[in-house]
Amino acid sequence: MLVVSSIGQGMLWAILGLGIFMTFRILDFPDMTTEGSFPLGGAVAVTAINYGVHPIFATLLGFLGGMVAGLVTGLLYTKGKIPTLLAGILVMTGLNSVMLFIMGQANLSLLGKPKIQNMFNGLHLPGAFNIVLLGLISLVLIIGLMLFFFDTNLGQAYIATGDNENMARSIGINTDNMQLLGLTLSNGVIALSGALVCQNDGYADINKGVGVIVIGLASIIVGEVLFGELTMSERLIAIVVGSIFYQLLILAVIKAGLNTNYLKIFSSIILAICLMVPEIRKKLKINLSRSASKEVA
């Protein structure tokens, strides 16, 4: 049952990876807002549920909260001309106070409150399968919407901005607007992940965003390492597979009896290894080709 739970968690965390993909991979924008918008989505959703809002609407409010955070970062970067990393860090830092204002305290529980996954209780699914079903439905909707968006003229302009900003600007694309759009949408998706994860965990905490960018990047990098060159739709699915695989790796670390207090460093090590794999592969190919050429000679 722990494996099923890890798969369900991997699906919910994959939404975070999809959000980061929109900026990190497509726009080539290292957005640190992630570590603020993720817990913000949870803080908004959990607070709304405590005030009696239906979990679905509370989750959507969390999504909107993340969009606002991303919009602020985008405005600081495009209009204020603040460097990318600094703009994200400023918003991430400010969101700590925003979350304290929203929740009224550093953490807030959902004990005895309805959660979005409770919608599937009538199906009488065993164990953590309701989380798997929630994750599956969420991912199908998000990936479907992302693929639809990327196939539109607006989506193509967005991709072109990330590929070559100067070229995109020369053909009449307003790159500032594309970056604003990307940061707004991506942080909305990231906050959605935060809202779902917090409901699954049963509480929201202002410190829940610490290190989540590593988890999101791990989903992307692990997927790329596992599958290599892919189409856009395949890449999005690879992020989901990478996220699940990453959660299973963390489960293996826990089952091995290692101290869970050090999960963050294990996460960083796993990500570092995955980042080095392409370079190791490249060097191995070069060495093999050299050996083959020597044998021919």
Over 113-133, what HEC string results? CCCHHHHHHHHCCCCCHHHHH
Positive/negative CA dihedral, 6, 10, 12, 16 = positive
User: What does the mean pLDDT of the chain come to?
Assistant: 88
CATH number at 2-296: 1.10.3470
Domain ranges of the chain: 2-296
| Per-residue model confidence as pLDDT tens digits over 66-99 | 999 999 999 999 999 999 889 999 999 999 999 9
Record the tokens describing residue 188, joined without a space: 């909305």
pLDDT of residue 138: 94
Tokens 């992940």: give the residue: 193
Record the tokens describing residue 7, joined without a space: 């798969």
DSSP helix/strand/coil, 276: helix
Indicate whether 295 pLDDT > 70. no
DSSP secondary structure letters along 191-222: HHHHHHHHHHHTEEETTTTTTHHHHHHHHHHH
Nearest-5° angle of CA 283, CA 287, CA 292? 145
Indicate whether 175 pLDDT > 60. yes
Q: Which residues fall within 8 angstroms of residue 224, CB to CB, at 6 or more apart?
A: 230, 235, 238, 242, 278
Please state, for a pLDDT cut of 70, what percent of the chain lies above it.
95
| Per-residue model confidence as pLDDT tens digits over 235-255 | 999 999 988 988 888 888 778
Binning pLDDT at 50, 70 and 90, where does residue 134 land? very high
Q: Which of 204, 248, 219 is nearest to 5 (CA)?
A: 248
| Per-residue model confidence as pLDDT tens digits over 188-232 | 999 999 999 999 999 999 988 888 888 888 888 888 777 777 888
